Each structure stands twice: as structure tokens, then as C-alpha cells.
Amino acid sequence: MRSKKFRSTLITFGIVIAAFIACQVMISTGAMTRSLKGQLVPICAYVVMAISLNMTVGILGELSLGHAGFMCVGAYLGGYIAIQLSNVIGSKLLVLIISMLAGGVIAAIFGLIVGLPALRLKGDYLAIVTLAFGEIVRTIFKNLDVFGKAMGLRTNTIKYDTRNDTSLYIVAFVVVLIVLFMINNLIRSKHGRAITAIRDNEIAAKAMGINVTFYKLFVFVFSAFFAGVAGVIYAHYITPVQYSVFSYNYSIEILVMVVLGGMASINGSIVSAALITIINFELQSKLSGDLAA
């Protein structure tokens, strides 16, 4: 059984690395269009979001609709920290790494604060609470002067030119590999088996001595951390960072990626996240007005 899971993990890493090599070859030979090249970073960010949400929804079995809220926290606070760091640190790569860690940790703290009371609920009630969290967070950022209020957080000083510079894409791809490594190792560990036991039968898991509250909170915080990291990547990709992006529709879109790829399927989340990101971009570029929304 373990060897089968190990082979599955190797296949996952092989596919992701092969896709990265193919993209690099296309970029170096000029075969990739500028528009598609500009979508490589969002694809990586969506993959991180989909995989991390799959931990909560697919592996743990709890319905959360607040993932966009954690990404919003990472984008605004991580982006703000990066702007301040850029004034004292000359290396954009170092600023990016530090701000990703900071944004992820802050999002994880928010996950802990929300998870402590919310994870006592189940099903639709948990979904409503997490959805409310996402709406509250983006409304707060909308009304704070330090983050530009409705105009958004200006990230010109840290933004990467993704159509001419692939460094942000390379960092985002490395983040995807790290997320895959950590989640696959967690799933194969005794802790992963405890988490899946909670999903399958919570009462039986409690009877076997599994600390259900701890594992639920752990997965929720773990997932929020990587959502915050994805938010920081987004803040380095686009300017301004606007609250309107992180609406409940954004959380639903991430959830659709998870469901479309298959619950608890990491490979499925990767493929669906990449496909939906590309399809959304193509539709928005070809449609106009309300049809593109």
C-alpha cells in the first residue's frame, strides 16, 4: 500500500516537473504566447489554493468557503510587508521569500482564530461561518486607508514583469513543489491516516483515541497558511491588490476546482486548477461586458 502511494507521489512530481520543463522550453524558443506566459504565475497560485483547500474539503471532509479570505489576508498584509521591506532590502527575491513566510504565518493565525470556534460546527453551518469570514476580511481591507481603501493596495515597487521576467514564475513553481511535498508526506503519515479516519467516521475516530479537535484545527491552519502564501504571490503579480477580487465567488471557484478534480485527489486539483485558470483567461479575453464576469 505504501509503495503504491509512493509511486503515485512520484508520478505527481514527474508530471509537474515535466510541465515546468515544457513551459521553459516553449519560453526559450519563443513558442509560448505573451498572454499565456503571463498566466503561468496565476496557474501556480491557483494550484496552491486548490491543493490546500483539498486538504480541508477532500482529506478532512469539512466544507470551507473562506479560502479567498485567507488569500486576501496574505495578499494585503504580505504585500504591505513586502513594500516596506523593499525600502531596506535590495534583493527582490529575498523580499518575496520573507513576505511569503510572513503572509502565510499571518493567514495561519487568522485560520487559528476562525477555526477555534467555527470547527465546532458542521456542514452548511461551517460553510456559512467561513464564508462570512471572507466577506468581513475583504470589507475591512476596503475601508482601511493604509491599504488604499477601495482603490486597493499599490504594489508597483514589488510587482514583477511576468511577460519578460520568469523569476516570479520559478519561485511560484517551487512553492507548488513544496506544497506537494508537504501535503503528500502528511497524507502518508500516521497523522494523515488520523485525518482520513475523522473524515470517514468521526465518532469511530474519537472512540479510537484520535484528538479530533486538534486535527481539524491543524488542517484548517495548515490550509490557511498556504492560501496566505498564494496571496503574497498574487500581490507580487498584479497591482493594485483590490478587495473585489476576493469575493465569495472566488472561494466558490476554488471549491469548483477541488470538486472537478476529485475530492482528496491532489493530481486532479492540479489539472483542474490549471485548466480552469486558462479557460477563464481565454473567456475573459474573448468575451466582453457581463459575459466576461
Per-residue pLDDT tens digits for 221-273: 999 999 999 999 999 998 899 998 998 889 999 999 999 988 888 888 999 99
Q: What angle do CA 59, 60, 62 make, to 5 degrees?
A: 125
- pTM value is 0.91
Residue 239: DSSP 8-state: S
For residue 103, the tally of other CB atoms under 10 A from its CB is 32
Residue 291: band (very low, low, confident or very high) from pLDDT cuts 50, 70, 90: very low
Rounded CA separation 239/126 (Å)? 32
Residues 132 and 138: their CA atoms lie apart, in Å, by 10
User: How much is the mean pLDDT over the chain?
Assistant: 88
